């Protein structure tokens, strides 16, 4: 997405800038989009803040409630195999 066009904006007396419309449209940055402003040796870099914070499985393990009896490893493996066969067809994982 390297574009060599030169676009110009001006810093206001409040230190604000307005991004050229072509940039915000190309990036799909709507009004209210939050951006990270990072100063680099080459200039200033704007990056969209991710919608969700990065997480690890350990951070969210056990977050969803479950009201039934715990499943055994065999029951979980059978369920995963059944879903794989449903998605990929009955020939999937026949030799497993």
The enclosing H or E element of 39 equals strand 35-40
CATH number, position 39: 2.10.260.10
Residue 10 lies in a domain: yes
Distances (CA, A) of 74 to 4, 44, 79, 85: 57, 54, 9, 16
pTM strictly above 0.75: no
Residue whose pair of structure tokens reads 């059978």 in the numeric block: 78
Q: What per-residue confidence (pLDDT) applies to 13?
A: 95
Q: Could you tell me if 3 and 46 lie in one domain?
A: yes
Containing structural domain, residue 95:
69-96
Q: What per-residue confidence (pLDDT) applies to 70?
A: 87
- φ/ψ of residue 46, rounded to 5: -110, 130
Residue 5 lies in a domain: yes
Q: What per-residue confidence (pLDDT) applies to 84?
A: 86
* DSSP state string for 30-78: -TT--EEEEEETTEEEEEEPPSS----HHHHTT-S---SPPPPHHHHHH
Blockwise average pLDDT, block size 10, the chain, 96 residues: 75 93 93 94 93 84 81 92 84 60
Residue 16 lies in a domain: yes
């Amino acid at each position: 997405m390297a574009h060599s066009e030169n676009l110009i904006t001006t810093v206001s007396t409040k230190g604000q800038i307005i991004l050229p419309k072509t940039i915000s449209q190309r990036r799909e940055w709507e009004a209210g989009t939050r951006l990270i402003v990072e100063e680099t040796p080459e200039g200033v870099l704007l990056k969209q803040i991710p919608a969700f914070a990065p997480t690890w499985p350990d951070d969210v393990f056990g977050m969803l409630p479950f009201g039934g009896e715990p499943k055994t490893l065999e029951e979980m493996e059978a369920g995963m195999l059944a879903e794989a066969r449903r998605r990929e067809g009955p020939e999937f994982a026949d030799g497993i």
